[in-house]
């Protein structure tokens, strides 16, 4: 009759069955809710409370001059930036070991260059000698090492670099009687206010921002002596990054400067007059 009959005992060939509607819907949801942005790289950077460079605001949002700048640069590089809160000394140790990739707010030292690459400078850091209000006029100092002759004790924060004048002071055989180290700037403010030390070394922008609205707001005054002024860089772990990545960072820094974004971020936080570095000089 023109109709062929198949043998019911022969194996039957089946085409691939259609997926169930619920499976299709689930797949579509995954596609539609997947992140729209795919980053070319991931960078991990430590931070510690150091207002106005790195801090949480009243809403709990992480911000600051360093934070905003590095975020803008990372975005320009198409890199995802993860921020990890950690003390400065641990941050340096993990940078050496490659467990974090970046450290902002760093000046160049030969010791750090052993384990880190350095970006071009993105801001300038100033260190001044602060005393209790009204006291700087009582002490004529032409260099930091003169604090020994005047029998003054100064407070510093562990792990910070205070420049060549401080290194010259530290080489003096009696320096240990005139330098007191603490874990944080805030501890130094308290000790200075309570007359446990005679002076502290501090970044003027950091000090004035951190004491604003506190009991220490009008407690301290800068001595005319300028202890340090130096270019500040971002450090990159030699263990987890490369010179090529540092160059990409430098290119992105130049790009956001060209768009005016750098100036907008810088001026947002720079309430104390501070010079900007020659960012693109070799």
* Per-domain boundaries in the chain: 41-124+230-269, 126-229
Kindly report the CATH number that applies to the domain delimited by 41-124+230-269: 3.40.190.10
Residue 230: name the closest of 162, 169, 143 by CA.
162
The tokens of 240 are what?
Answer: 């987890």
CB 148 within 8 A of CB 139: no
Residue 270: name the closest of 47, 74, 68 by CA.
68
pLDDT, residue 255, reads: 97
CA dist., res. 95 & res. 280, Å (int): 25
Superfamily of domain 126-229: Periplasmic binding protein-like II (3.40.190.10)
Q: Tell me, yes or no, if the two domains 41-124+230-269 and 126-229 fold the same way.
A: yes
Task: Give residue-wise pLDDT tens across range 98-156.
Answer: 999 999 999 999 999 999 999 999 999 999 999 999 999 999 999 999 999 999 999 99
Q: Which residue has the higher pLDDT, 46 or 5?
A: 46
At residue 233's C-alpha, the angle toward residues 240 and 268, to 5°, is: 120
Q: Average pLDDT, whole number, for the chain? A: 86
Report the percentage of the chain scoring pLDDT > 90.
74
Bridge partners (DSSP) of residue 155 are 180, 200
Per-position b or e across 203-240, b if 16+ CB within 10 A of its CB? bbbbbbbbbeeeebeeebebbebebbebbbbbbbbbeb
CA dist., res. 182 & res. 186, Å (int): 9
pLDDT, residue 16, reads: 42
């Amino acid at each position: 009759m023109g109709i062929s009959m198949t043998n019911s005992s022969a194996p039957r060939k089946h085409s691939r069955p259609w997926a169930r509607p619920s499976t299709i819907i689930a797949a579509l949801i995954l596609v539609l809710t997947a992140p729209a942005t795919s980053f070319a790289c991931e960078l991990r950077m430590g931070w510690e409370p150091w207002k106005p460079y790195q801090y949480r605001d009243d809403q709990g949002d992480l911000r600051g001059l360093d934070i905003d700048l590095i975020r803008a640069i990372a975005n320009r590089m198409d890199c995802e930036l993860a921020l990890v809160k950690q003390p400065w000394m641990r941050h340096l140790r993990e940078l050496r070991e490659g467990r974090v990739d970046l450290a902002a707010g760093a000046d160049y030292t030969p010791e750090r260059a052993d384990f880190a690459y350095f970006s071009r400078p993105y801001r300038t850091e100033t260190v001044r000698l602060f005393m209790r209000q009204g006291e700087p006029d009582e002490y004529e100092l032409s260099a930091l090492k003169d604090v020994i002759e005047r029998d003054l004790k100064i407070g510093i924060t562990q792990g910070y670099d205070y420049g060549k004048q401080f290194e010259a002071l530290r080489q003096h055989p009696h320096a240990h009687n005139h330098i007191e180290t603490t874990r944080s700037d805030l501890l130094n403010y308290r000790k200075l206010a309570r007359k446990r030390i005679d002076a502290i070394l501090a970044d003027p922008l950091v000090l004035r921002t951190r004491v604003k609205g506190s009991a220490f707001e009008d407690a301290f005054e800068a001595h005319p002596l300028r202890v340090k002024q130096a270019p500040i860089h971002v450090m990159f772990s030699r263990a987890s990054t490369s010179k090529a990545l540092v160059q990409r960072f430098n290119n992105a820094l130049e790009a956001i400067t060209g768009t005016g974004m750098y100036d907008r971020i810088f001026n947002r936080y720079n309430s104390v007059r501070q010079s900007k570095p020659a960012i693109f000089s070799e």
